Amino acid sequence: KQEVTQIPAALSVPEGENLVLNCSFTDSAIYNLQWFRQDPGKGLTSLLLIQSSQREQTSGRLNASLDKSSGRSTLYIAASQPGDSATYLCAVGTDSWGKFQFGAGTQVVVTP
């Protein structure tokens, strides 16, 4: 069974610092990997989707990398802002039907 781990569970950074969020998974046979953002008490917002054939995806200040062989993905957020404070979840696509296995998330606080 695919297991997804996100470490650390929480981190706090001062505004302007770059954020590095880690995700590891146990089975390298993935279909894709998606990063989500979740604000307290709310649903999830998709940030980036990386197909299994891709090494990275970029959107604005966000960049996600994927290394299937080592079972890792990293989400980089450049020049963090207080509005980036949220929980970030990594989800591994386990089949062609679009089912995902989620990590528990990393709670990020960006202090002004």
Partner 1 sequence: DTGVSQDPRHKITKRGQNVTFRCDPISEHNRLYWYRQTLGQGPEFLTYFQNEAQLEKSRLLSDRFSAERPKGSFSTLEIQRTEQGDSAMYLCASSFTGGNYGYTFGSGTRLTVV
Q: What is the SS3 assignment for 51?
A: strand
Token couple for 41: 């008490």
> Which are the contacts of 20, defined by CB distance < 8 A and separation ≥ 6?
74, 75, 76
Of 42, 55, 70, 81, the residue at the interface with partner 1 (CB under 8 A) is 42
**Between residues 18 and 51, which has the closer beta carbon with respect to partner 1?**
51
Residue 45 touching partner 1 (CB under 8 A): yes
Residue 4 touching partner 1 (CB under 8 A): yes
Instruction: Quote the least distance from Cβ 70 to partner 1, whole Å.
Output: 21
Residue indicated by tokens 């470490």: 7
**Between residues 79 and 109, which has the closer beta carbon with respect to partner 1?**
109
Q: How far is CA 106 from CA 29, 79, 95, 101, in A?
A: 24, 18, 24, 15
For residues 61 and 80, give the distance between their C-alpha atoms in angstroms, rounded to a whole number: 9
Instruction: Quote the least distance from Cβ 42 to partner 1, whole Å.
Output: 6
User: Looking only at residues 22 through 41 of this chain, which bind partner 1 when binding is defined by CB under 8 A?
Assistant: 31-32, 34, 36, 41
The residues that touch partner 1, with contacts defined as CB under 8 A, are 4, 31-32, 34, 36, 41-46, 49, 51, 89, 91, 93, 97-105
